[in-house]
Amino acid sequence: MKLTPPQIENLYAFTRQHYVEHYDLQTELVDHLANDIESVWQTQTSLSFEDARDKAFKKFGVFGFMDVLERRQKAMNKRYFKYLWTELKQWFTFPKLITTLALFFGIYLGLSTIFAKSFLIGLFVIICVFTIYKSTQLNRQFKQRKALSNKKWMLEEIIFKQAGGSAIILLTQLPQWYNFSDNIFDNPYIVFAVSIFSTLFCLWMYISFEVIPNKAEQLLNETYPEFCL
Amino acid sequence: MYVCNMANSKLYKGSLTTIILKLLNESEKMYGYEMTQKVKAITKGELNITEGALYPALHKLEAEGLLDVEVKKVDNRLRKYYKLTEKGNKETVSKLEELKDYIKTMETFMSPKFSLD
């Protein structure tokens, strides 16, 4: 006996109830449960759909789909950082290298003046404002995309909702920077190191909030070619 | 990770990747449920891959570029098939060699040949 389309829909709803919100993973789990239910029905023909479904679900263990979900998220985050890294590397080759160097020297010069501390704080305040503005914009875009397709993709959520996540934690440390000693920027090695860090940080923010979301369609097609998005 | 003969289940841990690669090496493409059933059939029920272990392993191999995926509509639903990439084929050869060496070493260890030389 084969499952009917309403029963397949029920399985999609069932995975959603068990915290699997992304269509790519839902599809795989629905097919697995459906196969198992059909297999159970071969020996226990009188078993109801719900009972067979619960029986199939129990085989996933006490944590249900959680383990599969967590590991999938981990693998997808790894993929996202791979995309991020690929983009970052491009800023160290021509012609983008010119922008990177200009940014680095700009920051280096700013930090070599007597206003180094204010310059650094000003720079990170600008990044902070950019981050908040882009986060809001990307969140809105994500909602619009979801409303259009009614499907959620794990990579799409990472691109639009988790962009620069760890950077925001770093920016919350900003008030503590006021405690920096002014003399710290007298040391050229520190100026050099802070300039490198700030350049990389600016690039990282720009790539995760601007470059990657603009390439979302291409990256999603690359990640889920099987679904022909 | 596995439900099998519980006394020795730990011995099978860490071999899941090799099992998946070997299965895919023998068929053109397979889907998750098919893999669990094939392992059960080959080992006559001795080894049972749990769903909670299989899918994370498949997704990891996919992320590493060892597996390629394709989706087809079968019986009112979409089915995700996995197949080996070129990198996956190379990795299969290497993993199987590694496993053979391990088995050989363990066999030597379990039944050593003593000599008076």
Interface confidence, given as ipTM, is: 0.81
| Domain stops at, among A38, A64, A90 | A64
| Domain stops at, among A42, A64, A86 | A64
pLDDT category at B31 given cuts 50, 70, 90 is: very high
A218 and A162, same structural domain? Answer: yes
Across the interface, do B76 and A36 touch by the CB < 8 Å criterion? no
Q: Is A22 inside a domain boundary?
A: yes
Q: Is A222 inside a domain boundary?
A: yes
Task: Find chain B residues with C-beta within 8 A of A9's C-beta.
Answer: none
Q: Is A69 inside a domain boundary?
A: no
CA-to-CA distance for A150 and A135, rounded, in angstroms? 21
Task: Find chain A residues with C-beta within 8 A of B82's C-beta.
Answer: none
Owning domain of residue A47: 5-64
Share of chain B above pLDDT 70, in %: 85
Strands B2-4 and B77-84: unpaired
Tally of domains within chain A: 2
Round to the nearest angstrom and report the end-to-end CA distance of chain A. Answer: 32
pLDDT category at B2 given cuts 50, 70, 90 is: very low
Backbone angles phi, psi at B18, to 5 degrees: -65, -40
A132 and A43, same structural domain? Answer: no
Q: Contact A158/A77 with Cβ under 8 angstroms?
A: yes
Nearest chain A Cα to B68, which residue?
A226
pLDDT of residue A147: 83
A186 and A80, same structural domain? Answer: yes
Kindly list the domain boundaries of chain B, sorted by start residue: 13-110
A188 and A116, same structural domain? Answer: yes
Across the interface, do B32 and A31 touch by the CB < 8 Å criterion? yes
- pLDDT 10s digits, A27-67: 999 999 999 999 999 888 888 999 999 998 988 887 788 88
pLDDT of residue B45: 81
A194 and A111, same structural domain? Answer: yes
A158 and A111, same structural domain? Answer: yes
Q: Please check the confidence at residue B3 and state whether its pLDDT lies above 60.
A: no
Which range, A7-16, A161-170, B13-22, has the best average confidence (pLDDT)? A7-16
- DSSP letter for each residue of B42-78: HTTTSEEE-HHHHHHHHHHHHHTTSEEEEEEEETTEE
Residues in chain A: 229
A97 and A60, same structural domain? Answer: no
Is B13-110 assigned to CATH 1.10.10.10? yes
A20 and A99, same structural domain? Answer: no
| Domain stops at, among A40, A64, A88 | A64
Q: Please check the confidence at residue B1 and state whether its pLDDT lies above 60.
A: no
